[in-house]
Each structure stands twice: as structure tokens, then as C-alpha cells.
Chains A and B, each alone.
Chain A
């Protein structure tokens, strides 16, 4: 049972480059979200989706785009990478009710030079 799968696990980019972080879940969860984790900051919500075709902004959306064309996939796009986006990115999914736990991927460690 794969759960939430994130790729790649590590990535180094140069300032100004673009890339897509992939996230896939096999639990048929409606709700998916992206967080970034920085030292001493906890997890901050970037974007989330409550179902295919529906996305919304979280706490720190600037510089990131998302789309949700299928229930399974929720990619995160960095449009023009900046050093401030150096972070660990986590994708999570849940069954879609606020009392349900979120299931996290193992993260993508991204460095922007």
C-alpha cells in the first residue's frame, strides 16, 4: 500500500529555474494539500484541493501553482525558483472531513542556489 508518494526526494535548482514537484495518492482521498517545512516554523500550508478541479490558496501561496486534474495527483509548480523557496515540501491527503487525519508523503528536499 503506497499511500502518498512524492517525487523527487531531492532536487537542486538554480535561481529562476522552474520545476514541478509530483504527488500521488492511492487512497481515493478527496482532500490534498502541500506544505513547506522550515526550521522553527512548523508546517505552513501552500495550496490545497478539496477535489478534482478545485484548488485554493493556503497561508504561503506566492511563487507556487497547483492543479488537480485527477483525484490521485496534485503537482506543485515553482514558476521561477528563488532562494527563499529552499525548504522541505510535504504533500498530504485525507478523506475530506475535518476529523480525519492527514497522510503525509516522505517529502522533497529542495535547494535553490
Chain B
């Protein structure tokens, strides 16, 4: 079975600072990787995904994540955060070609302070 570890439960940063949210996964088979974002009192929204090809994937709001197969990681980064990026971020994996289930990490609360 696969598992996901998000190494930081909370990450406080100041506005315009860079941020990295760490995600490691464990799986004996190939996986697809996702980052979801949850704003307060809302459901989860897909931020970005890695399916195949280039190991660096980007979102429309400036986040990027890099798939590192040797380190089994999929860390999320943004070079300059805004107050509006305050949210909880979840890393998730699904198994290629198998069932449809997503396995989530426990989440990282990103708080951007002025």
C-alpha cells in the first residue's frame, strides 16, 4: 500500500518570502502525484499534478512542484507568497493503472503573515 508523509504540519512565513512544503511518498509501484489546496471553510481544490513527462509541474498561481523519483519526493514551492496563499495544502498519491483511490498526507497549514 502507498503512504504519504508531509513533513511539516505548520509553516509560517512572511509575505513575499519563498516557501517550500515538503512531501514524501512510499509505494512499491508507480504513482501519480497531486497537490490540493483547501482555503478556510471550503473543499479541496486541485493545485497541480504530476502524471508523466517533465518532472517540474506548475500551477497557474505561481506554485511549482518537482517529482524526484530517487528521493520519492514531490515538494511544493513558491518563490514569493501572498497573504491569499494562506491555506492548508495536501499532498496525495494514486496508483498508476489501478484503482481510483487517493491517499492523502495529513496536510500542511501555510500561514502567510504581513
Contacts and interface: CB of A to CB of B under 8 A. Distances in A.
Interface of A: 4, 31, 33, 35, 40-45, 48, 50, 58, 90, 92, 94, 96-102, 104-107
A104 B45 contact: yes
Contacts, number: 62
B43 A42 contact: no
Contacts of B101: 33, 45, 48, 58
Interface residues of B, number: 26
A24 to B, nearest CB: 14
Contacts of B114: none
Contacts of B25: none
Nearest to A31: B100
Nearest to B44: A104
Given A40-B9, A42-B106, A104-B43, 19 more contacts: A33-B102, A40-B106, A42-B90, A42-B104, A42-B107, A43-B44, A48-B100, A50-B99, A50-B100, A96-B100, A98-B95, A98-B98, A99-B32, A99-B49, A99-B94, A100-B100, A101-B34, A102-B102, A106-B41
